[in-house]
Amino acid sequence: MNEIIKTSKKGNLIVISGPSGAGKDTVVEQLLSINTNTWLSISATSRAPRKGEKEGVNYYYLTRKEFEDKISKGDFFEYAEYNGNYYGTLKSGIIDKINSGIDVILVIEIQGALKIKELFPNAVFIFILPPSMSELRRRLVLRKTEDKEKIIKRFKTAYNEINEVTKYNYVVINDNVSDAVEKVNSILLSEKCRVDRIEEVYLGNEEEEIHEILVDKELENIELSL
């Protein structure tokens, strides 16, 4: 039997942004465990690892010089300077994953996301927000990964970033992590149903199908209740 519609088997490029403290990393970590058709691209950064972070798991940690060498070699799809450090999306692996049907997730800040939009206009852009600004402040303070000065810097950056939300396709409020994960996963599933992913439509032969109805023996025994 021919399938009525053949859709693209390629994965989507999913870009996730949101202010520090919105909980992007936690949401993405849980998303990866419930949706095995996803792959997280690990970025490179020139910032020092935070306590508990691991090379190749959270980031590839480079010196500024190493990062700049990679920029000049064209190793990045995009990179940005954010709060005094470089962050960049390495090209390697991403296109292969998409071609093999995997949804590739980039967790990046807004300048980088806008560059990705130029390169990949069909990418899906999701913005994650905290339920309120005071909750964002509370989360930044509670995680104890930065001193006061850095927290204030991140908080100020967050205010500017939130104005950019309309450049994204979706917004998800992370009040409760599992609800936010479910919403992001629903977006990924819905994106697979977009009509612009249709590559071929097969409707068969209308006359032949009608002929099948006419000669169907079972239909002859139906008593119609009028």
Which of 107/129 has CB closer to ligand 5GP? Answer: 107
Cα pseudo-dihedral 27, 47, 52, 39, rounded to 10: 40
Give the residue with the Cβ less far from ligand 5GP, 61 or 135. Answer: 61
What phi and psi, each to the nearest 5 degrees, are found at residue 19? -65, 155
Is 87 one of the binding residues for ligand 5GP (CB under 6 A)?
A: yes
- Residue 23 as a binder of ligand 5GP (CB under 6 A): the answer is no
Taking alpha carbons only, the member of 30, 16, 22, 7 closest to residue 124 is: 16
Note whether 46 binds ligand 5GP by CB under 6 A.
no
Q: Does residue 82 bind ligand 5GP (CB under 6 A)?
A: yes
21 binds ligand 5GP (CB under 6 A): no
Q: How many residues in the chain?
A: 226
Per CB under 6 A, which region of 74-82, 125-133, 134-142, 201-209 contacts ligand 5GP? Answer: 74-82
Tell which one of 14, 23, 38, 43 touches ligand 5GP (CB under 6 A).
43
DSSP tag of 131: S
47 counts as binding ligand 5GP under rule CB under 6 A: yes
Write the CA distances from 23 to 14, 57, 101, 128, 136, integer angstroms: 17, 17, 27, 8, 9
Least Cβ distance, residue 87 to ligand 5GP (angstroms): 3
Applying CB under 6 A, which of residues 70, 88, 98, 188 lies at the interface with ligand 5GP?
88
Task: Answer for the pair 112, 80: CB distance below 8 angstroms, yes or no.
Answer: yes
Q: Nearer to ligand 5GP by C-beta: 141 or 198?
A: 141
Longest CA pairwise span in the chain (Å): 83
Q: How far apart are CA 90 and CA 206, in angstroms?
A: 50
Q: Which of 184, 80, 59, 76 is nearest to 124 (CA)?
A: 184
User: Does 80 engage in binding with ligand 5GP (CB under 6 A)?
Assistant: yes
Strand 76-82 relative to strand 198-201: parallel, antiparallel, unpaired? Answer: unpaired
The distance in angstroms from the start CA to the end CA of the chain is: 35
The DSSP H or E segment spanning 94 is helix 94-99
> What mask, x for binding ligand 5GP by CB under 6 A, covers residues 106 to 135?
-xxx-xx-----------------------
CB-nearer residue toward ligand 5GP: 80 or 162: 80
| Closer of 114 and 187 to ligand 5GP (Cβ) | 114
Instruction: Give residues in contact with ligand 5GP (CB under 6 A).
Output: 20, 43, 47, 78, 80, 82, 87-89, 107-109, 111-112
